[in-house]
């Protein structure tokens, strides 16, 4: 990807916008790799990983287990604290804010080219959801 903007200058919602797409694609690839092919089942399975509730759960566990660096934590907070003018359909505002922070973290890792760390974080998330 060609970098025409410094990701460190983006606001939390722009980072979350990118992170949402990156995380969704990773989850879709994971589910396909498991052999799931029926669209209705894929969508239902993906929701376990990508819903606001699931993302808030994941970021809470990351914070509890202290797996984020200080810089990653600051990008999570940037997204969490961003003022969104949209409402989540199936989550309260606190859950939605934490989910936005999670997505901002993913967007930050992606846009700064930290692919190894991004893969580590997404792999951790998949394992954490699947151990439930």
Which pLDDT tens digit goes with each residue over 19-41? 999 999 999 999 999 988 888 88
Question: Which residues are marked as active site?
Answer: 20
- Paired tokens of 122: 């997404």
Q: Which residues contact 35 (CB under 8 A, 6 or more apart)?
A: none
Distance from C-alpha of 95 to C-alpha of 114, rounded to nearest angstrom: 26
Q: Contacts by 118-122 with C-beta closer than 8 Å and gap 24+?
A: 118/22, 121/62, 121/67, 122/23, 122/26
Q: What is the pTM of this model?
A: 0.91
Predicted pLDDT of residue 36: 81
Q: Which CB contacts under 8 angstroms, 24+ apart, belong to 61-69? A: 61/128, 62/121, 62/124, 67/121, 67/124, 68/105
Taken in order of first residue, the domains within the chain and their CATH numbers are 9-130 (1.10.1520.10)
Residues in the chain with pLDDT values less than 50: 1-2
Residue the block writes with tokens 């930290």: 114
């Amino acid at each position: 990807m060609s970098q025409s903007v410094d990701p460190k200058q983006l606001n939390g919602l722009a980072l979350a916008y990118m992170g949402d797409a990156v995380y969704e694609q990773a989850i879709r690839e994971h589910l396909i790799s498991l052999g799931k092919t029926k669209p209705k089942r894929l969508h239902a399975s993906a929701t376990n990983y990508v819903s606001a509730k699931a993302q808030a759960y994941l970021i809470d566990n990351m914070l509890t287990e202290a797996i984020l660096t200080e810089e990653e934590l600051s990008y999570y907070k940037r997204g969490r604290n961003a003022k969104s003018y949209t409402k989540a359909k199936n989550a309260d505002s606190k859950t939605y804010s934490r989910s936005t922070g999670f997505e901002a973290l993913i967007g930050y890792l992606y846009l700064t080219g930290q692919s190894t760390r991004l893969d580590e974080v997404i792999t951790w998330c998949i394992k954490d959801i699947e151990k439930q």
